Structure 1
Amino acid sequence: MLAIAGLTQIPGSLYEAATLDGANGKEQFRFITLPLLRRTLLFSAVIAIINAVQVFEPVALITQGGPVGSTNVLTYHIRRVGIERAQGGLGSAMAVMLMLSLIVCVSALFSLVNRKDGE
């Protein structure tokens, strides 16, 4: 939905000018659509990463990580280690590593979006 909203904000005159200049569909997508959708796609990717990490409640309420750990997710595993197994230090370390890996992923996405085409 966000990509569609971003596409509606691109003026049609840009595509008309590109067509008059001889650009085909692939070139229009590469040089008009993608650069103008970068911020929208970044926002969508960050929200998707956050939502993927927040899949704790369905696992905790419905399956408790079973059968045989097939529905276990990292956030549920951190809770299980930290609280149920009473290994608070290990659970805290796992949570910190998860947070750091999320920061690295989001920073990499920001650097990809903010870089110039020539670089």
Structure 2
Amino acid sequence: MRQPDIEIYLKDAEHQAVADWLGQAIGPCTPWQQKGQTFKCRAGEVPVTWLPKAVGKWHSLFLESDATPWEDDLACAQAAFAALQVEVRCAPGGWQEEESDEQADRWLRISADGVEEITWRTG
């Protein structure tokens, strides 16, 4: 089932490189608008939010639409890794507010090693 939005975390990625990748994958990006620590743009018709160092060295990329080429976070994360060659993390499925902390710490790591489930304590 297609997720209503997509959020992935990228390590050591430059937001301009991410914008270039999104421009190729979704559609041309508008110039980034900075609001505090957050950067926003549109890739084609998709609203994009980039939060540098959201969790330590990890940058958050949030695509606020289901109109992306990817079915879910994992498909997007794998495409991001292939294009940018940086480690990417994402939740294993849609996140629910009522999930336990243990469930919330389950993440997928996408790297040169492939996809593996890890425990990542972000809180």
Note whether the superposition's TM-score is higher than 0.5: no
Q: Which has the higher contact order (CA 8 A, sep 6+)?
A: 2
TM-score, normalisation: structure 2: 0.23
- Higher strand share goes to which structure? 2
Larger helix proportion of the pair: 1
TM-score by length of 1: 0.24
